[in-house]
Structure formats: C-alpha cells, structure tokens
C-alpha cells in the first residue's frame, strides 16, 4: 500500500470528559463519533525525519525506506524513522533524501542524522498509476 500522507493530529469529543479535544495522536481504544484526522496529503511535501543510524554524505539523493514503530504516549510523538541501511537508488523505496539537516543534534555521518525528504515519484497514492 502506498502512503496518502502524514498524520498531523486529530480532533474529537473525549468520551470520558465530553470535552472537544485536539490531539497529536489517536489514543488507543478511544471511541468518538465526531473524530476527524488531519493529514498532510500533498505529494510534493518536504518533511524532516531522523535516521535510525548514521547517513553518509554519499546517500544524498538516494531513496530510503521507513522504520515504523509505535509512537510515544509520553511525548505524544511518532517514533518512525528512515532506515539508514536501506539508502539506495532502488525506485521502490518510498522517500528521497533531499538534504541533510546539520545542527547541534545532527551532523552528516553521526548517529541519527536528520534529513529532509519527499516522496519518490509514483510512491504517493495521488501519483500512482492505475493498476500499480
């Protein structure tokens, strides 16, 4: 299955408190009849992710896979990351490395390199050919 976007959060009436609630994650077991998800579905979106290991400068422009894990209910953030060992020119990988994000916590070649990414052509649901 190809992605249609990135979950940005949701809005619902909390079944326990009856209060309108905005949340960055969908709490497990929540049942709400008015739930709305907000999804960044632009196939040309550029977004930042952290690699699960170091990425060398030579991976710039390569495609890369995603490691999907359960998010954190403590900090209410995703724990998904790009899979450093998958960086290659393979056209079936969903994301492309556009740039490295150097900063106090991220340097090219160091552990957990931050990168800017976009979808590989044809890997977003809106850009898939019929029959793919």
**Highest mean pLDDT: which of 58-62, 108-112, 128-132?**
58-62
The reported pLDDT for the residue numbered 25 is: 86
3-state secondary structure of 73: coil
Supply the DSSP symbol for 72.
B
| More confident position, 77 or 99 | 99
3-state secondary structure of 32: coil
Question: pLDDT digit string (tens) for 42-91?
Answer: 989 999 999 999 999 999 999 999 988 877 778 777 778 999 999 999 88
Tell me: pLDDT of 5 over 70: yes
Question: pLDDT digit string (tens) for 16-44?
Answer: 999 999 998 888 889 999 999 999 999 89
Domain ranges of the chain: 6-127
The reported pLDDT for the residue numbered 114 is: 93
Supply the DSSP symbol for 93.
S
Look at strands 6-13 and 36-40 and give their pairing: antiparallel
pTM comes to 0.81
The reported pLDDT for the residue numbered 131 is: 64
The reported pLDDT for the residue numbered 2 is: 67
């Amino acid at each position: 299955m190809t992605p249609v976007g990135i979950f940005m959060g949701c809005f619902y009436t909390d079944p326990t408190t009856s209060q309108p609630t905005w949340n960055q994650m969908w709490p497990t077991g929540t049942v709400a009849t008015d739930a709305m998800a907000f999804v960044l579905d632009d196939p040309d979106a550029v977004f930042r992710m952290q690699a699960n290991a170091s990425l060398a400068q030579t991976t710039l422009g390569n495609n890369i896979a995603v490691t999907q894990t359960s998010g954190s209910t403590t900090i209410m953030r995703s724990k998904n990351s790009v899979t450093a060992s998958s960086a290659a020119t393979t056209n079936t990988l969903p994301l492309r490395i556009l740039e490295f994000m150097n900063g106090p916590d991220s340097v090219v070649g160091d552990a957990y390199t931050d990168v800017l990414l976009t979808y590989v052509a044809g890997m977003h649901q809106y850009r898939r050919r019929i029959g793919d």
